[in-house]
């Protein structure tokens, strides 16, 4: 077995035993990247030299008997919208193509303290706006299970890299499903933590009231370990919450007896692929066999969530992206006579079509005459949706839904129809609207051999119950015996 095939919790043991070195592990991944990334194209930048230098430093410390932290020398991939000092942080946009971050995101600071090894920065839809990674300004990432299909998005590079074993784990960010949907389409585990659990400092902002950073991993145990590393209050993010730090690995308990699981019927209705639906019903059955009670319930207002989401997310994006003016950083046009030209031409040349579309939508819903009808109304409907979740969680410990209505679609299939692309997120978006935690766990392959994921939604700050339910499912099933085939590549 190659080193890149292990989970992080297995690699940590091997490092502790002295069976392998960080250099061995890092080299195994760098070789794997060289072998597979020309097909998958998950990485925007590979940090080979820095990674090997860091690995050697950790190995030297271990050899010298210097105490090292638990994850010292463990490699990780980072979505390219998180700032790392001295490293290019592009958001897969022409606007930031040459942007060198002057500081570390809080999550990166935490990894630095652990002496972790950065393999590189991962591709995404430009500014995290998209569900297929086709809107990257640089190149499209392929799904390792079928190279003619999308990996999902916007954290498509992160999910594809973990699925293709080009990183043992990775960070993604999730505004409306951008961790969970690609995790589902690539057959890996993806967690969007509760809004406020992980600091957003140093994450390039898309929609500030919805964005969260979270883990993309091979299994549930790794997700708990990675959440342990990144969760926590941060003075630099006023929306982060100061609560007692939990050890999520304590929630990895193989037991769901007595757990009350709600199955919202609207999530299995119109628009869902039959094979996906069947897979979710099978998961429900499995949970019943394992001693949980699964009951059909209703989240009727969920059908308004996508509309609410695109109004609020685009409004916030149009404001957040106002900072790109071609003056202090980012792309600057060559065609200008005055300051106004610099602003307009830099933005028009630097942003891609989807980003412009969302800026226009966001500007429109915030503009005088439409603010009340769209933005204010959407903020109120957001409250209605949050209340509906609260009511469900009075009765249920956790909700079970599909992550995505379909498995991975073909490249080009939806990229010219924005509304259709937006509907790829119908099952994940409501969770961000509610500020709740949600996890996608792989459960089956469809008849084309493409992964299907199910989603567990928990109460705010109750990642614990999600981990318990996800871990129990994983321990009693065997999805991880399946491996991506890398079929469908051009000859």
Judged by CB under 8 A, which of 386, 449, 475, 482 binds another protein? 386
SS3 category, 124? coil
- Cα torsion for 246, 252, 254, 258, to the nearest 10°? 30
For residue 413, give both structure tokens: 């299939």
Q: Does 379 bind another protein (CB under 8 A)?
A: yes
For residue 326, give both structure tokens: 């071609």
CA–CA distance, 194 with 90 (Å, rounded to integer)? 26
User: 118 pairs with which residues across the strands?
Assistant: 76
Please identify, using beta-carbon distances, which residue of 181 and 306 lies nearer to another protein: 306
Query: Can you list the alpha helix ranges (DSSP code H) found in 322-462?
Result: 339-350, 353-366, 377-395, 418-422, 429-434
Please identify, using beta-carbon distances, which residue of 292 and 314 lies nearer to another protein: 314
21-29, 112-120, 357-365, 392-400 -> range binding another protein (CB under 8 A): 357-365
Residue 272: C-alpha distances to residues 251, 269, 278, 294, 424 (Å): 32, 6, 10, 20, 10
Please identify, using beta-carbon distances, which residue of 24 and 97 lies nearer to another protein: 97
CA–CA distance, 491 with 482 (Å, rounded to integer)? 24
In angstroms, what is the minimal distance from the CB of 381 to another protein?
Answer: 5
Please identify, using beta-carbon distances, which residue of 253 and 384 lies nearer to another protein: 384
**How crowded is residue 26: how many other Cβ atoms within 10 Å of its Cβ?**
26
- Buried residues in 332-356 as b, exposed as e (16+ CB within 10 A): ebeeeeeeeebbebbbeebbbebbe
Please identify, using beta-carbon distances, which residue of 280 and 433 lies nearer to another protein: 433
The tokens 């500007």 sit on which residue? 363
Residue 418: C-alpha distances to residues 40, 59, 206 (Å): 24, 49, 18
154 is catalytic: yes
In terms of Cα–Cα distance, which of 209, 214, 157 is closest to 317? 209
For residue 378, give both structure tokens: 């959407």
Please identify, using beta-carbon distances, which residue of 64 and 419 lies nearer to another protein: 419
Please identify, using beta-carbon distances, which residue of 102 and 489 lies nearer to another protein: 102
From start to end of 246-319, where are the E strands? 260-264, 293-297
What is the per-residue binding string for another protein in 137-176, x denoting contact by CB under 8 A? ----------------------------------------
6-14, 96-104, 281-289, 482-490 -> range binding another protein (CB under 8 A): 96-104
For residue 25, give both structure tokens: 């592990």
Q: Are strands 438-445 and 189-192 parallel, antiparallel or unpaired?
A: antiparallel
In angstroms, what is the minimal distance from the CB of 125 to another protein?
Answer: 17
In angstroms, what is the minimal distance from the CB of 144 to another protein?
Answer: 31
Q: Does 210 bind another protein (CB under 8 A)?
A: yes
In angstroms, what is the minimal distance from the CB of 299 to another protein?
Answer: 13
Q: Where in 423-482 is the site for another protein (CB under 8 A)?
A: 434-435, 460-461
Q: Does 383 bind another protein (CB under 8 A)?
A: yes
178 is catalytic: yes
Judged by CB under 8 A, which of 76, 137, 203, 361 binds another protein? 361
131-139, 256-264, 378-386, 464-472 -> range binding another protein (CB under 8 A): 378-386
Q: How many residues bind another protein (CB under 8 A)?
A: 71
Give 429's contacts (C-beta < 8 A, 6+ positions apart). Answer: 176, 177, 305, 306, 309
In angstroms, what is the minimal distance from the CB of 305 to another protein?
Answer: 10
Judged by CB under 8 A, which of 34, 323, 380, 487 binds another protein? 380
Judged by CB under 8 A, which of 43, 374, 467, 479 binds another protein? 374
Please identify, using beta-carbon distances, which residue of 188 and 317 lies nearer to another protein: 317
SS3 category, 484? coil
SS3 category, 333? coil
In angstroms, what is the minimal distance from the CB of 383 to another protein?
Answer: 5
What is the per-residue binding string for another protein in 213-252, x denoting contact by CB under 8 A? ----------------------x--xx-x-----------
Q: Where in 290-349 is the site for another protein (CB under 8 A)?
A: 301, 303-304, 306-308, 310-311, 318, 322, 325-332, 336-339, 342-345, 347-348
79 is catalytic: yes
Angle, CA of 105, 107 and 112, to the nearest 5°: 90
Q: Which of 132, 154, 184, 240 is catalytic?
A: 154
> What is the set of active-site residues?
79, 154, 178
């Amino acid at each position: 077995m190659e080193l890149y095939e292990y989970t992080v919790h297995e690699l940590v043991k091997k490092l502790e035993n002295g069976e392998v070195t960080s250099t061995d592990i890092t080299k195994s991944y760098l070789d794997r990247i060289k072998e597979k990334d020309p097909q998958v194209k998950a990485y925007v930048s590979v940090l080979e030299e820095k990674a090997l230098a860091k690995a050697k430093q950790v190995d030297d410390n271990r050899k010298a008997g210097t105490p090292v932290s638990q994850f010292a020398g463990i490699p990780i991939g980072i979505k390219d919208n998180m700032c790392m000092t001295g490293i290019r942080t592009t958001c897969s946009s022409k606007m930031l193509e040459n942007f060198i971050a002057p500081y570390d995101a809080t999550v990166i600071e935490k990894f630095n303290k652990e002496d972790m090894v950065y393999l590189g920065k991962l591709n995404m839809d430009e500014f995290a706006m998209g569900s297929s990674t086709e809107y990257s300004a640089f190149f499209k990432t392929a799904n390792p299970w079928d190279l003619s299909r999308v990996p999902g998005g916007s954290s498509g590079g992160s999910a594809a890299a973990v699925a293709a074993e080009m990183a043992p784990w990775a960070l993604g960010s999730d505004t409306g499903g951008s961790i969970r949907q690609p995790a589902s389409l690539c057959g890996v585990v993806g967690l969007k933590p509760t809004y406020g659990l992980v600091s957003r400092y140093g994450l390039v902002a898309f929609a500030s009231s919805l964005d969260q950073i979270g883990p993309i991993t091979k299994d549930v145990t790794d997700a708990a370990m990675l959440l342990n590393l990144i969760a926590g209050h941060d003075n630099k993010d006023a929306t982060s919450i100061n609560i007692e730090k939990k050890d999520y690995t304590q929630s990895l308990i193989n037991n769901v007896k007595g757990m009350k699981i709600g199955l919202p019927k609207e999530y299995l209705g119109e628009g869902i692929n039959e094979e996906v639906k069947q897979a979710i019903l099978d998961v429900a059955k499995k949970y019943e066999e394992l001693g949980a009670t699964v009951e059909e319930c209703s989240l009727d207002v969920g059908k308004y969530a996508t509309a609410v989401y695109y109004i609020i997310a685009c409004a916030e994006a149009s404001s957040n992206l106002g900072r790109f003016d071609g003056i202090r950083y980012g792309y600057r046009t060559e065609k200008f006579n005055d300051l106004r030209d610099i602003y307009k031409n830099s933005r028009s040349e630097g942003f891609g079509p989807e980003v412009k579309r969302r800026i226009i939508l966001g500007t429109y819903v915030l503009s005088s005459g439409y603010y009340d009808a769209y933005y204010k109304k959407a903020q109120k409907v957001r409250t209605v949706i949050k209340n509906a979740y609260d009511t469900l969680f009075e009765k249920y410990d956790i909700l079970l839904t599909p992550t995505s209505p379909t498995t991975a679609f073909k490249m080009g299939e939806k990229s010219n129809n924005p509304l259709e692309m937006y509907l790829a997120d119908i099952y994940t978006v409501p969770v961000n609207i509610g500020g709740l935690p949600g996890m996608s766990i792989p459960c089956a392959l469809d008849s084309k051999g493409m992964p299907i994921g199910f989603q567990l939604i928990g109460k705010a700050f109750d990642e614990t119950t999600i981990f318990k339910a996800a871990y129990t499912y994983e321990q009693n099933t065997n999805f991880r015996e399946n491996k991506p085939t890398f079929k469908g590549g051009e000859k």
